[in-house]
Structure 1
Amino acid sequence: MVRLSALSLCLATLFGCSTAQVELPISATALEYEPDWTSIYYSKSQPLLIGNDGSAAAGGFHTFSLNGNSSSLTEVASVAPGRTKLMTVVYNVGREDLIISIDQPTSVLRAYKINDLEPIPSIKTTVLGDWSALCTWKADSGDQYLFLFGKKQAKQFLVRRRRAFEIVEIQTFPVPLEVSSCAVSLPAGRIYIGADDDSNVYSFELAESTANPMMDVVGGVNDGITGLAIYVGAEQDYLLVAETDVIAVYTTSLELLGTMELSGAQEIEIQGLSVHQTASISYPSGAIAYALEYDDGAGFGVSSLQGILPQLNLTLNTRYNPSNRLAHFANGGDGDDPAIWLSPVSPDLSRIITTTKSDESPSLGVFDLTGKLLQTIKAGEPNNVDIIYGFAVGNETRDLAFAACREDNTLCLFEITSEGTLRTISGGSHPTPIEVYGSCTFKSPSSGKTYLFVNAKSAEYLQYELGSTANGTLTTTFLRSFTAGSGGQVEGCVVDNENGWLFVGEEPLGLWRYDAEPDSDVSEGFSVDVVSTSGGNLYADVEGVTLVPGKTNDEGFIIVSCQGVSAYNIYRRASPHDFVMTFTITGNMDGSVDRVSNTDGIAVIGNALNADFPNGFFVTHDDANELPEGGTSEEASFKLVSLEDILGAEAVASLGLLGQVDTQWNPRSS
């Protein structure tokens, strides 16, 4: 079973109390620079080491690939705004990852888009002073802050995007030393600072406040501090302290666990320490990066952690990745099922539509990709929701949202505008003879007609054809009924339009497949899988069912939620739908997003949407929304996980699952 967390996969624990000394060889270098500072950009496809150039002749900063296979780091790009000492990475500011730097001649803060180093004209702020350290912090609110340190003072800035990107100064506050190093613990919400002429490590709590922070002396180390970095463990963080040619590993209370001594050159001095924990092609156990001076020159160095931490009685944690995102949002009531609408205007304007079936406020909710509620529209206790693309309504083509509404046992339909909002439509309610429960839609590849499926808990399925009058009123025509599965309670369903298959979840037993065409034989279904107690891979209750399209009709995957164990099964789309794996979703490391429990409805999309979701995302209902301060919310929530973190995760990457997803899927093409 593969476990997924809010950041990526479930984290291994880093622990130990050894004071052993180990050798840390230099794995790769890039020389002929005047270095002081490094930063790491986490990316599954192209992780980068970013290093400054303090030379008067060139200046600026450079990016180097961490996927190289030689002892020389490969430069990817560079910019030269002037002699530069500091730069850092901020993630997901207005859906962009940025490099923030400050040059020394003019003390100007600048920002660049990470992918092409395109400068952002609206961020060009002069901050006079002699600055020597720069760190970034993302608050629980999602706001991104910078801390710029100099001679016994620090400045805090907010980096945000409204109509344009901007940096806003929040406060200036005193610090007890001339800071030369800083490191942020995101899970703990603390920043650690040090100086090369002081053996003490200082720390303060990070908060969204204009009050001067309270400075704590954490403790002393053996020598002056030339670099600080945080190694994130599952239960606590560890402080890496560079002391000339040695990197000491401490707990955050400064208990020494061990030391790593650099080797491979003479007279080594390092500073500007940074860590890349996620496994990459060249560094499967992660790596430590630093600015480097030694007898052969100066530049940047990287050391592989392969085989290093076990020598210190520490367990590797290659799962941490600050760039991975799990969003979550409250549904405002008894939520149950989500659907994803792909915008025809721009992928990043796509929407998540959810159901609320409570008596107090039965409705459909519309959210953007950050989990911000944009709209609610009254509906009669909708249970499941699905999307219909490009349906001919009168003389126009429209997208529709379809739900089974339990309040009056009707088929409910709403128009989706091009802006991604819902509105009522003529003929949007149609009675049924059953107590409706689950529902899904089908567009026939042969006839082009659109059909609506709705079921009752008794396993009775009804199929209707959706139509429209000349004046734009929706109509439905009943076509057939059948009993699904073995007659146990059913709810979740999804249709593979290209292959004409209806997949049905029978809650106590398993997953079934039927032909979706209205004239097909449904007297006997195909059993895809059964629950474990009957010898299968599923777990009761079998709830939501969804499909992510592939590049061909045989590629792609069926995903099924297993409510009883709060897990999800993945099956291949191609018949006979081989079982691939089971995964779960746990909370993120700082506790701001809880694990998924008692899961119900699910939806998935594989399209490239934005910087957060370059390979689409998976959204799931979470019934028991545990609060960071303790207790459980009365509101259900939904959790969003990048599809890359599921199908492209390290533990399953060898299966090539992510490469089978159609990132350019167009539901309006047929």
Structure 2
Amino acid sequence: MTAALAVLAGLTAAAPATAQGRKSGPLPAVTPVAQTATLFDDEEGGNANADDPAIWRNSADPDRSLVVATAKQGGLRVYDLGARQVQALPAPSGPGPDDSPGRFNNVDLVHRMRLSAGRADLAVVTDRGNDRLRFYRVDRDRPGGPLTDVTAPTVPPVFSASQEEINDQRTAYGLATWTDKATGRSYSLVSRRHETRLALLELTAAPGGTVGYRLVRTLDLPSSFRLPNGTSWSPCGEPGERPQVEGMVVDPADGTLYAGQEDVGIWRMRADLTSAPVLVDRVREYGVPATYDENTEECTPGADPGFGGRRLSADVEGLTLVDEGDGDGYLMASSQGDNTFAFYDREHKDGHDAPEDGPRTATGFKFVDLGKVLDALDD
């Protein structure tokens, strides 16, 4: 197996392909080549819930590449390309017994960042429980495991002003990393849970080979939208919660950030957050009025006015890039509402879908041959 791999987080039970259009016929389906051991989101299972993966490519020996994946309160899991676990790292506890525990939400990679101890590849993680970023140095052949925690002990909360705010959990959530080609500086873009805010953080070398960060700027996406019929619409949710972003990715070719606002769609903007965001695709539910029911904690939708998109069903979840060289390739988006994936040409807004799936909550990661995915797109 090579490092040409897509890793998908989802429930371990297999689901058949669904026929939801693609000009004609069913959506293409690709069978996983490997699957991790099941994680369980309960006390016996260490409250581990498979969520977000990143693939670290071993340039010297691609077959010895690694998948770094978050398991929320269960911390981090590291797998080889055969989906075998090679390391498990716990999330840190909260500062006090009554404070929120660490909860790792998203992970991304930074390559060859200059630290005081030399250049290193880093896995960067949002610790949603503590509202901080955490950093792990990648060393494939280290005897104790390939990841070593190199988080500077003084890193501040990303969004919160106090521990009380942290405990409310409007904290660091989605994540993308970016290295500016012009300056060589590395950054993380972080979204805030239950809010529309994005933050740009510059990653900094700290003493002892550790890593910290500083806030550069923030940007707030809209939470209310003007519809073509002249009315105003906001996605339905619990009172006080705004439509959050989770999935994000930066195109290194031109520094473009794509951000998935879960109940709205996919935004495009400059990764330095200095341009006006453009909504490039909408979820099917965009513009549908809905009423929140406090008893069921669910939204009851009204009539669809027909302003939504065709490819995505809320939530828009993960985003990643498939690079085919010379600026060619795809933006890949997971459409959680219908268990499919949408692919968008990086130059032309087009795409079609391929499926993914779902009583103790059992989750895991499926390893898919990326070559077969691309072949399915061309069929």
Normalising to structure 2: TM-score of the pair?
A: 0.69
Name which of 502, 524, 549 aligns with 2:323: 549
Name the residue aligned to 2:257: 502
Contact 1:490–1:506 (CA<8 Å) still a contact in 2? yes
1:505-544 equivalent positions in 2, closer than 5 A: 505-517=260-272, 520-521=274-275, 524-533=276-285, 534-537=307-310, 538-544=312-318
Name the residue aligned to 2:68: 353
Name the residue aligned to 2:147: 422
Name the residue aligned to 2:220: 483
CA deviation after TM superposition for structure 1 residue 467, in Å: 1.4
Amino acid of the residue matched to residue 421 of structure 1?
P
SS of 1:448's equivalent?
coil
CA deviation after TM superposition for structure 1 residue 517, in Å: 2.5
1:197-208 equivalent positions in 2, closer than 5 A: none
Contact 1:335–1:356 (CA<8 Å) still a contact in 2? yes
CA deviation after TM superposition for structure 1 residue 488, in Å: 2.0
Distance (whole Å) between structure 1 residues aligned to residue 339 and residue 316 of structure 2: 10
CA deviation after TM superposition for structure 1 residue 460, in Å: 0.6
Q: Alpha-carbon deviations, 1:544-599, whole Å to 9, x = none? A: 1111112112x11111111111111100122xx412211214xxxxxxxxxx13xx
Amino acid of the residue matched to residue 462 of structure 1?
A
Q: Alpha-carbon deviations, 1:62-116, whole Å to 9, x = none? A: xxxxxxxxxxxxxxxxxxxxxxxxxxxxxxxxxxxxxxxxxxxxxxxxxxxxxxx
Distance (whole Å) between structure 1 residues aligned to residue 55 and residue 272 of structure 2: 24
CA deviation after TM superposition for structure 1 residue 426, in Å: 4.8
CA deviation after TM superposition for structure 1 residue 345, in Å: 3.0
CA deviation after TM superposition for structure 1 residue 513, in Å: 0.7
- Relative to its length, the structure with more strand (as a share) is 1
Distance (whole Å) between structure 2 residues aligned to residue 343 and residue 485 of structure 1: 39
Check if 1:432 corresponds to 2:158.
Answer: yes
Name which of 371, 374, 378 aligns with 2:83: 371
Name the residue aligned to 2:49: 334
SS of 2:361's equivalent?
coil
Root mean square deviation of aligned Cα: 2.6
CA deviation after TM superposition for structure 1 residue 458, in Å: 0.5
Check if 1:647 corresponds to 2:369.
Answer: no
Contact 1:562–1:569 (CA<8 Å) still a contact in 2? yes
1:24-423 equivalent positions in 2, closer than 5 A: 325-329=32-36, 330-332=38-40, 333-358=48-73, 362-379=74-91, 380-419=102-141, 421-423=146-148
Contact 1:331–1:365 (CA<8 Å) still a contact in 2? no
Q: Alpha-carbon deviations, 1:620-647, whole Å to 9, x = none? A: xxxxxxxxxxxx5533111121112221
Q: Alpha-carbon deviations, 1:19-46, whole Å to 9, x = none? A: xxxxxxxxxxxxxxxxxxxxxxxxxxxx
Q: Alpha-carbon deviations, 1:470-506, whole Å to 9, x = none? A: 6423231211011125462211111112210111001
Distance (whole Å) between structure 2 residues aligned to residue 491 and residue 571 of structure 1: 18
SS of 1:646's equivalent?
helix
Normalising to structure 1: TM-score of the pair?
A: 0.40
Contact 2:124–2:135 (CA<8 Å) still a contact in 1? yes
Contact 2:18–2:355 (CA<8 Å) still a contact in 1? no
SS of 1:549's equivalent?
strand
Contact 2:341–2:353 (CA<8 Å) still a contact in 1? yes
Contact 1:336–1:383 (CA<8 Å) still a contact in 2? yes
Contact 2:125–2:133 (CA<8 Å) still a contact in 1? yes
Name the residue aligned to 1:473: 210
Distance (whole Å) between structure 2 residues aligned to residue 389 and residue 541 of structure 1: 30
- Provide closer, same or farther for how the CA distance between residues 320 and 403 of structure 1 changes in structure 2, counting only shifts above 3 A: closer
Name the residue aligned to 1:569: 342
Distance (whole Å) between structure 1 residues aligned to residue 151 and residue 314 of structure 2: 39
Distance (whole Å) between structure 2 residues aligned to residue 535 and residue 483 of structure 1: 22
Contact 1:505–1:512 (CA<8 Å) still a contact in 2? yes
Aligned residues: 285
Amino acid of the residue matched to residue 83 of structure 2?
G
Check if 1:634 corresponds to 2:371.
Answer: no
Distance (whole Å) between structure 1 residues aligned to residue 82 and residue 207 of structure 2: 39
SS of 2:184's equivalent?
coil
Contact 1:331–1:638 (CA<8 Å) still a contact in 2? no
Distance (whole Å) between structure 1 residues aligned to residue 355 and residue 282 of structure 2: 19
Q: Alpha-carbon deviations, 1:406-426, whole Å to 9, x = none? A: 121111111111337111115
- Provide closer, same or farther for how the CA distance between residues 477 and 10 of structure 1 changes in structure 2, counting only shifts above 3 A: closer
Q: Alpha-carbon deviations, 1:365-389, whole Å to 9, x = none? A: 0011111111101222110011111
Distance (whole Å) between structure 2 residues aligned to residue 470 and residue 544 of structure 1: 34
Name the residue aligned to 2:196: 459
- Provide closer, same or farther for how the CA distance between residues 335 and 11 of structure 1 changes in structure 2, counting only shifts above 3 A: closer
Check if 1:560 corresponds to 2:333.
Answer: yes
Contact 2:151–2:212 (CA<8 Å) still a contact in 1? no
SS of 1:336's equivalent?
coil
SS of 2:51's equivalent?
strand
- Provide closer, same or farther for how the CA distance between residues 642 and 633 of structure 1 changes in structure 2, counting only shifts above 3 A: farther
CA deviation after TM superposition for structure 1 residue 507, in Å: 0.8
Name stretches of at least 5 consecutive residues in structure 1 with no aligned partner. 1-5, 13-318, 586-595, 598-631, 655-670
Distance (whole Å) between structure 1 residues aligned to residue 149 and residue 209 of structure 2: 12
1:657-668 equivalent positions in 2, closer than 5 A: none
Distance (whole Å) between structure 2 residues aligned to residue 320 and residue 636 of structure 1: 20
CA deviation after TM superposition for structure 1 residue 430, in Å: 3.9
Name the residue aligned to 1:95: none
- Provide closer, same or farther for how the CA distance between residues 474 and 508 of structure 1 changes in structure 2, counting only shifts above 3 A: same
Amino acid of the residue matched to residue 543 of structure 1?
E
Contact 1:547–1:559 (CA<8 Å) still a contact in 2? yes
Name stretches of at least 5 consecutive residues in structure 2 with no aligned partner. 1-12, 20-27, 41-47, 92-101, 161-170, 224-241, 286-306
Distance (whole Å) between structure 2 residues aligned to residue 344 and residue 637 of structure 1: 26
SS of 1:648's equivalent?
helix
- Provide closer, same or farther for how the CA distance between residues 320 and 385 of structure 1 changes in structure 2, counting only shifts above 3 A: closer
Give me the identity figure in percent.
Answer: 31
- Provide closer, same or farther for how the CA distance between residues 535 and 633 of structure 1 changes in structure 2, counting only shifts above 3 A: same
Amino acid of the residue matched to residue 309 of structure 2?
G
Contact 1:366–1:374 (CA<8 Å) still a contact in 2? yes
Contact 1:541–1:562 (CA<8 Å) still a contact in 2? yes
Name the residue aligned to 1:492: 247
SS of 1:348's equivalent?
helix
- Provide closer, same or farther for how the CA distance between residues 432 and 347 of structure 1 changes in structure 2, counting only shifts above 3 A: same
Amino acid of the residue matched to residue 550 of structure 1?
E
SS of 2:337's equivalent?
helix
Higher-Rg member (1/2): 1
Contact 1:345–1:418 (CA<8 Å) still a contact in 2? no
